[in-house]
Amino acid sequence: MKYRTRHSKNNHIKNITLKLLGLFAGCTLGIAAMAQDFNEGVQVFQDGDLDHALNEIVNLVEQGNAFAQSTLGWMYHNGQGVPQNYEDAAKWYQLAAEQGNTLAQNNLGMLYYNGQGVTQDYGESARWYRMAAEQGYARAQTNLGWFYEKGLGVPQDYGEAAKWYRIAVEQGNAFAQNNLGSLYSKGKGVPQDYGEAAKWYQMSAEQGNVGAQSNLGLLYYNGQGVKKDYEAAAKWLRLAAEQGYALAQSNLGWLYMNGQGVPENYEEAAKWYRLAAEQGNARAQTNLGWLYVNGQGVPQNYVRAHVWFNLAVSLGLDEIASMRDSVEELMTPEQISEAQLLAILWQPGTSLYDLK
């Protein structure tokens, strides 16, 4: 897909090709609900009486109850009812994990993955994920599959990744469904099959998984495994974009910019590009810069265009350097200095307007 160019001053800005890009959604290392072996503690916890909940849980912890130990670890992990303390979370997870509690094993694996309360160690993380996965815990199966896909703590093995994802999808795990769809889309560990990819993305997307919604939208956009349908693409991209998913926001902006599946609307395009750009999405930064160059959906502003192009280059889009340099020819030295300073000051999650 190419920009539809409108000639700007002196026609310095060159037309370049940019594509909508798919994104693999990595493992989500979530915390499952508390078990039912200590119903009173759980109930008061859910009712918001954290002091009472903590007392009930501590009583069970003192009896060596693994579910209580796991839950106390979760409380320290998340700062619920107690001050957040990753070391204490690791301690209680460890005690529960050694008794075979799958939730604690998975969450201890997460702490080792992130280096929270323990020294970061992918091998140790994989070991705990495997223990929980082999007991049938779907989150851990998904996480272990992702480790095999990425070669974290285990040798990279797409076949093993597919195996664990497939086991987890049998339990309806949305993240595993999305990740298995990604393997089919790429032909890694399984034969490339966009139809299979679409099937798994659909299942995951219907559960609200933002990565799957975005990926399914891209399949509809490209007509891969499904009939090309820009309106369906816009529908799924919007669902993910409204949940704050930067890639989907960027791609939804593209649809508005080009009038595909939605009415052409440069203001809407700029809105979605800005949301993604402020999260550090380099494609969105480039496209937003392009709108600022041409004054489409936003007032023409070479300083802002230069900033967004410069940030995109810093994130690895080297081909955008020529666009930045072309804009620079239209700017005064003072404007160039301002743009360079704004690019230095900008951080992901901030707006350029906040830096003025």
Determine, yes or no, domain membership for 266: yes
Determine, yes or no, domain membership for 316: yes
Give the type of residue at 30. G
Determine, yes or no, domain membership for 353: yes
Determine, yes or no, domain membership for 264: yes
Total of domains in the chain: 1
The answer to whether 22 and 208 have CB atoms below 8 angstroms apart is no
Distances in Å between the alpha carbon of 277 and those of 1, 47, 74, 249, 352?
Answer: 20, 40, 34, 9, 10
Residue 10 gets which letter from DSSP? G
Place of tokens 């990740």: 179
CA–CA separation, 236 vs 252, rounded Å? 9
Q: What is the CATH number of the domain that holds 312?
A: 1.25.40
- What's phi and psi for 2, nearest 5 deg? -125, 155
In this predicted structure, the answer to whether residue 38 has a pLDDT above a threshold of 80 is no
Place of tokens 């223990």: 131
The token pair that represents 31 in the structure block = 């915390």
pLDDT digits (tens, 9 = 90+) for 171-198: 999 999 999 999 999 999 999 999 999 9
Q: The pTM is what?
A: 0.84
pLDDT digits (tens, 9 = 90+) for 140-182: 999 999 999 999 999 999 999 999 999 999 999 999 999 999 9
Determine, yes or no, domain membership for 221: no
pLDDT digits (tens, 9 = 90+) for 114-141: 999 999 999 999 999 999 999 999 999 9
Beta bridge partners of 17: 2
Determine, yes or no, domain membership for 72: no
**Domain limits at 303?**
1-25+245-356
Determine, yes or no, domain membership for 86: no
The answer to whether 250 and 279 have CB atoms below 8 angstroms apart is no
The answer to whether 129 and 114 have CB atoms below 8 angstroms apart is no
Determine, yes or no, domain membership for 302: yes
